[in-house]
Chains A and B, each alone.
Chain A
């Protein structure tokens, strides 16, 4: 076989770098949406590659729900320090305190939906015209049709029927005042690709992804970590389990799986044998058949 071909990880990397550079060239004020999860860490790593030897030329934006894993915040701050880039924080607590949103009530209350308002407020007040996210098309069916450059109207809303066709490698980021875009450089990656690449590049990730002993409660078919925000039901009991997280969201809704995978090598093997999608442990996606689509329409990540 000819030596002039790329393996699939190199091709995905090259595509993502291309998209990140297009964002930089086509927008005035882009940011990377940084959650501390592996996908946004990957996007940040790819942005380093895209602009090397320059620094990443735009800030990271973290929508902070206040319901964080402490490990996530520590990881975020260390990364920002190492990259030498600016961090913008949009605070959900502040949105609640100023009456922009109201906290959900009840045992299964989350701040997931509240993030939408905080995110859109942060985009507006910082005049952000493109927010780069780590969304992947394989994550969820509403994402399967997402574009690399996804248009949002001046209410921040996504209209799946009014998206611009993307042919070859030509991306159209033209927009009017007040509108913005979401850009998804790792659209074509699967969970497996992400892990294989993280392993290959030896990218630093929060320890939460690796198996560790933790106090947890069995709820909605997964192990929910004990935290100051967790209210126990009468019949629920705290146990200590060796678990790890496949995705990271709020500490209140991110369920762990029992696992012995405490190295990247073991994670790759484990993910390859998985029988459930990674969002299967996220109670925010379990609310209805179209939960993700509904949130996306409103301006979710």
Chain B
């Protein structure tokens, strides 16, 4: 197997019990031979106990005991499979509105989102919700799978009608790349293999689409941003004066000799070296983890950001963001939280809830401003010191943050800077 060039693709799925999501994932894993015999045996046993005929592929994605007992997927579960072309990570999330926060979590790192529609029902509330979250989290690619085509006689007309329904509402959303696929997860039509029942569909099956989707350009290569995680000072022979700023490139490209500025101090310098245990590098880009050393001796610590002199983020102390509330306890008005943005941490206060969004209808709610679990809202936030931010739309890693409640240490919200 040629693995040297194979990329990693992360995709998220959202769905409810009935739309065949678990079956689809089970099918992808099964057909790509990611299910082992002992796992299959366990599933066969459970299927028999439950009185199902044959193997219920959906059982493969059920994880914890509570979930198996209740027959639902509560959390985000990660699944893995590999084909000769790519490695895949699936963030498998439940689709009900009470699990919005799980969908948001799964979506935050995804290159692609799979949205499932039951061909018999067409676009429903849940479809709009999933599309909204994919758009809010700026997942670069959306694949809409119109599933259970076997139950509508593989009708092209039904398929086209659902595409029209989808396009009608999704025109209100900001989505970069969207594709549609007619499938039957149960029988495997257009999942791994092309369907013999839908000659009218000229596109590729789902797996091929995932294997060949162009994802290299999803990463921002323009705005060079290097948040410093920690400082390496080996103080041992050969490295007595060495000082390396360890971090993972968030975006853009850095090279030795680049003129850089360290934020927030504003000190300028040049990149002396980009170091790894395997040697020094001539250039570095996201998402590589390296250590950068500078020509000048500057005081730099965790939370600082190295950027290019001619392309800097905004230093803001007050900004607006789209926020998803994660916690059982509602947001306390004007309460202070710890805000974590890249490797930087400050105190922050939600100054105002501008509006909440009904993610089923996309309607703005300007009366009820209490932020409860799973709510999504536009807020104004103020921090004790300026953060070096980009808009989320331009930069997922320097445009995002979480809020932590100091009383419980729980992560209570996730935000995207607008």
Bound form: Cα–Cα A290–B410 in Å? 27
Are A7 and B36 in contact, with the CB atoms below 8 A?
no
Shortest distance from the beta carbon of B58 to any chain A beta carbon, whole Å = 14
Tell which of B37, B78, B217 touches A137, judged by Cβ atoms closer than 8 Å.
B78
Are B3 and A280 in contact, with the CB atoms below 8 A?
no
Are A275 and B78 in contact, with the CB atoms below 8 A?
no
Q: Specify which of B6, B64, B66, B79 lies most central, judged by the most chain A CB atoms within 10 Å of its CB.
A: B64
Are B234 and A54 in contact, with the CB atoms below 8 A?
yes
- Give 1 or 0 for each of A1-43: 1 = CB within 8 Å of chain B CB: 1101111111111110110011011000000000000000000
How many pairs of residues, A versus B, come closer than 8 Å at their CB atoms? 176
Chain B residues with CB under 8 Å of A6's CB are 7-8, 287-288
Q: Which of B254-290 contact A (CB under 8 A)?
A: 275-278, 285, 287-289
Bound form: Cα–Cα A276–B42 in Å? 12
Q: Specify which of B86, B105, B253 lies most central, judged by the most chain A CB atoms within 10 Å of its CB.
A: B105
Asked, given contacts A1-B216, A54-B234, A168-B109, whether A14 binds B400 with beta carbons under 8 Å apart, the answer is no
Q: Does B409 contact A (CB under 8 A)?
A: yes
Are A8 and B80 in contact, with the CB atoms below 8 A?
no
Q: Does A138 contact B (CB under 8 A)?
A: yes
Tell which of B36, B287, B414 touches A165, judged by Cβ atoms closer than 8 Å.
B414
Q: Does A85 contact B (CB under 8 A)?
A: no
Chain B residues with CB under 8 Å of A2's CB are 216-217
Q: Does B38 contact A (CB under 8 A)?
A: yes
Asked, given contacts A142-B63, A144-B78, A170-B340, whether A54 binds B233 with beta carbons under 8 Å apart, the answer is yes
Shortest distance from the beta carbon of B209 to any chain A beta carbon, whole Å = 17
Asked, given contacts A4-B221, A164-B411, A170-B340, whether A277 binds B229 with beta carbons under 8 Å apart, the answer is no
Q: Which of B168-176, B187-195, B235-243 is near enough to bind chain A?
A: B235-243
Tell which of B3, B37, B288, B400 touches A167, judged by Cβ atoms closer than 8 Å.
B400
Q: Does A272 contact B (CB under 8 A)?
A: yes
Bound form: Cα–Cα A9–B277 in Å? 16
Chain A residues with CB under 8 Å of B86's CB are 8
Bound form: Cα–Cα A192–B230 in Å? 31
Are B216 and A52 in contact, with the CB atoms below 8 A?
no
Q: Specify which of B3, B109, B247, B404 lies most central, judged by the most chain A CB atoms within 10 Å of its CB.
A: B3
Q: Specify which of A7, A145, A176, A188 lies most central, judged by the most chain B CB atoms within 10 Å of its CB.
A: A145
Are A188 and B236 in contact, with the CB atoms below 8 A?
no
Q: Does A266 contact B (CB under 8 A)?
A: no
Q: Does B108 contact A (CB under 8 A)?
A: yes
Q: Does A196 contact B (CB under 8 A)?
A: yes
Are A18 and B289 in contact, with the CB atoms below 8 A?
yes
Bound form: Cα–Cα A49–B289 in Å? 10
Asked, given contacts A6-B288, A21-B229, A174-B409, whether A274 binds B36 with beta carbons under 8 Å apart, the answer is yes
Are A167 and B7 in contact, with the CB atoms below 8 A?
no
Chain B residues with CB under 8 Å of A74's CB are none
Tell which of A8, A145, A176 touches B64, judged by Cβ atoms closer than 8 Å.
A145
Chain A residues with CB under 8 Å of B215's CB are 5
Bound form: Cα–Cα A168–B38 in Å? 34
Chain B residues with CB under 8 Å of A91's CB are none
Are A7 and B3 in contact, with the CB atoms below 8 A?
yes
Shortest distance from the beta carbon of B37 to any chain A beta carbon, whole Å = 5
Tell which of A4, A10, A21, A166 touches B219, judged by Cβ atoms closer than 8 Å.
A4
Are B277 and A48 in contact, with the CB atoms below 8 A?
yes
Chain B residues with CB under 8 Å of A190's CB are 80, 82
Bound form: Cα–Cα A240–B77 in Å? 42
A-B pairs, 3 with minimum CB distance: A52-B277, A17-B289, A8-B8
User: Could you list which residues of chain B lie within 8 angstroms of chain A, going by C-beta atoms?
Assistant: 1, 3-8, 36-39, 42, 62-66, 74-80, 82, 86-87, 89, 101-102, 104-105, 108-109, 215-217, 219, 221, 229-230, 232-234, 236, 238-239, 242, 244, 246-248, 253, 275-278, 285, 287-289, 291, 302, 326, 338, 340, 343, 396-397, 400-402, 404, 409-411, 414
Q: Mind listing 5 A-B residue pairs with CB under 8 Å?
A: A52-B276, A53-B242, A174-B338, A276-B37, A290-B65
Q: A6-B287, A7-B4, A53-B239 are in contact. List 6 more A-B contacts (CB 8 A).
A: A11-B7, A24-B230, A49-B277, A53-B244, A172-B410, A280-B38
